[in-house]
Amino acid sequence: MKGNLLVVHGGGPTAVINSSLYGVIREAERNESIGSVYGALGGTAGVLAEKFIDFSTVPSAEIEMLKQTPSTAIGTSRTPLTPEDYDRMISIFKKHNIKYVLFNGGNGSMDTCGKLYRAAKDEDIRVVGIPKTIDNDIAITDHCPGYGSAARFVAQTVAEIAQDVRSMPIHVSIVETMGRNAGWITAAAALAATEYSCGPDRIYLPEIAFDEDKFLSDVQSIYDRKGYAIIVASEGLKKADHTPIVDPIFKIRRDTYFGDVGAHLAELVLKNLGIKARSEKPGIAGRASILNQSSVDREEAIQAGAAACRAALEGKTGVMIGFKRLSSDPYQMEIMDVPIEEVMLHERMMPKEFINEDGTGVTEKFTEWCRPLVGGDLLKFAWFNK
């Protein structure tokens, strides 16, 4: 009897999570041992409510649209789960003849994936993880689907803001980026600095303790020299005692609603230096932008979905699909299997060799690592006021 396959999305969406779903569906269509491919409508909450969509009922043209659709077409959730919920999910899978379960998500979802794997160990149910996060903070894998597009958005946006600010050099612009405790997205702003764009003057990462006095001194020095300054700062900036520079608005378990770091830094500049300053907070626009979707990110997301489907069909369970980099120039990577228990809730921070000596920028080693992931060059600008 054919077994059915279920895809579950968890956590915050990305510009390519639907591409991974596309990869699963198209790979499953090529295998006669799979009955139906289901999607859980609304993440784990949808599983527990038994709300599924059967993709065999969806026209092929709409499946093709997944590659250019932002967010998640089947919905997601961060539903807290109890041990009883995992047992209940096993019963639901049996009821619907689901033998293959693919969890597509970030750190929290890989933790859920691992716990489900443990609960299903004695059952004929295979559980495989597909990495997804703009934060790029999942352990072991070189990078995660979702990051390349978020990195491209930040680099392109900072390049455009820099062009605007230097054309009328009268103020300090603070750009706040997402990324929680890891500075991968923030660091990608460095790619904005090219012969066609001046890029950011300083990049502040959550891995480095924030020094308010040094920040103000740096801003004053840059402003005195140029007449303007472009600062990129992570939402997760912390002081030397590891407390946030702005108190979180809300925090429960791993869900944190950060305070407005960009506005706080702009206020510091205004009040302490008397320099006009404003903050920009693209927020979820950075993970939803399909116009800035990286072609490399999209293709790797498709490959990750397809690889997860194949792994489950080969009898593998309790693994996550990961990427191993072979070369940055030319860019080459290969897909690997990662034991899920080596991944569960292990955050991957920016390594020291990617951060510059004074902690206010990144090294060339980082830009070499990051550049292939954004899927080609950024837009080029003309500039004559030199």
178 is in an annotated binding site: yes
Q: Does the pLDDT value for residue 252 go beyond 70?
A: no
Q: Give mean pLDDT, residues 30-50.
A: 96
pLDDT tens-place string over residues 283-324 = 999 999 999 999 999 999 999 999 999 999 999 999 999 999
Q: Give mean pLDDT, residues 354-381.
A: 96
Q: Give mean pLDDT, residues 185-194.
A: 96
Give CA–CA dist 142/96, Å, rounded. 35
User: What is the DSSP secondary structure assignment for residue 122, as one 8-state letter?
Assistant: T
Tokens of 28: 């499953």
Tell whether the torsion through CA atoms of 106, 375, 20 and 283 is positive or negative. Answer: positive
pLDDT tens-place string over residues 334-365 = 999 999 999 987 899 999 999 999 999 999 99
CATH number of the domain encompassing residue 320: 3.40.50.450
Band of residue 254 on the pLDDT scale cut at 50, 70, 90? low
My answer on whether 183 and 98 are in the same domain is no
Q: Are strands 172-177 and 277-280 parallel, antiparallel or unpaired?
A: parallel
Q: Return the residue matching tokens 């993709």.
A: 55
pLDDT at 267: 97
133 is in an annotated binding site: yes
In a domain, residue 254? The reply is yes
Band of residue 259 on the pLDDT scale cut at 50, 70, 90? confident
CATH number of the domain encompassing residue 152: 3.40.50.460
My answer on whether 201 and 326 are in the same domain is no
My answer on whether 300 and 279 are in the same domain is no
In a domain, residue 22? The reply is yes
pLDDT at 134: 96
Band of residue 325 on the pLDDT scale cut at 50, 70, 90? very high
My answer on whether 177 and 72 are in the same domain is no
My answer on whether 169 and 276 are in the same domain is yes
pLDDT at 235: 95
Sheet holding 277-280, edge to edge: 202-204, 229-234, 172-177, 277-280
In a domain, residue 262? The reply is yes
Q: Are strands 229-234 and 202-204 parallel, antiparallel or unpaired?
A: parallel
- Taking the alpha carbons at both ends of the chain, their separation in whole angstroms is 71
107 is in an annotated binding site: yes
In a domain, residue 305? The reply is yes
User: What is the DSSP secondary structure assignment for residue 181, as one 8-state letter?
Assistant: T
Q: Exposed (0-12), middle (13-18) or buried (19+): which is 74, by Cβ within 10 Å?
A: buried
My answer on whether 269 and 295 are in the same domain is no
pLDDT at 255: 61
Domain coverage including residue 53: 3-141+291-342
213 is in an annotated binding site: no
Q: How far is CA 239 from the centre of its chain?
A: 24
My answer on whether 168 and 45 are in the same domain is no
My answer on whether 317 and 260 are in the same domain is no
Q: List the single range of 56-60, 81-85, 198-202, 252-256 with lowest mean pLDDT.
A: 252-256
My answer on whether 107 and 168 are in the same domain is no
Averaged confidence pLDDT in the chain: 95
User: What is the DSSP secondary structure assignment for residue 372, as one 8-state letter?
Assistant: G
Tally of structural domains, the chain: 2
In a domain, residue 379? The reply is no
My answer on whether 128 and 239 are in the same domain is no
Tokens of 35: 């009955």
287 is in an annotated binding site: no
Cβ(348)–Cβ(136) below 8 Å: yes
Please calculate the CA angle 122-101-82 and round it to the nearest 5 degrees: 70
Cβ(362)–Cβ(352) below 8 Å: no
Cβ(5)–Cβ(312) below 8 Å: yes
User: What is the DSSP secondary structure assignment for residue 226, as one 8-state letter?
Assistant: H
Largest CA distance in the chain: 74
Cβ(128)–Cβ(311) below 8 Å: yes
pLDDT at 46: 97
In a domain, residue 385? The reply is no
**What is the C-alpha radius of gyration for the chain, rounded to an integer number of angstroms?**
22
For 78-113, b/e burial (b = at least 16 CB within 10 A) is: beebeeebbeebbebbeebebbbbbbbbbbbbbbbb
My answer on whether 160 and 24 are in the same domain is no
Q: Which residues are catalytic?
A: 135
Q: Does the pLDDT value for residue 258 go beyond 80?
A: no
The CA-atom distances, in angstroms, between 85 and each of 19, 51, 61, 166, 208 are 28, 15, 36, 55, 39
My answer on whether 18 and 158 are in the same domain is no
In a domain, residue 382? The reply is no
pLDDT at 253: 54
For the entire predicted model, the pTM comes to 0.95
Residues 6+ apart with CB under 8 A from 189: 154, 155, 158, 175, 177, 199, 200, 203, 232
In a domain, residue 386? The reply is no
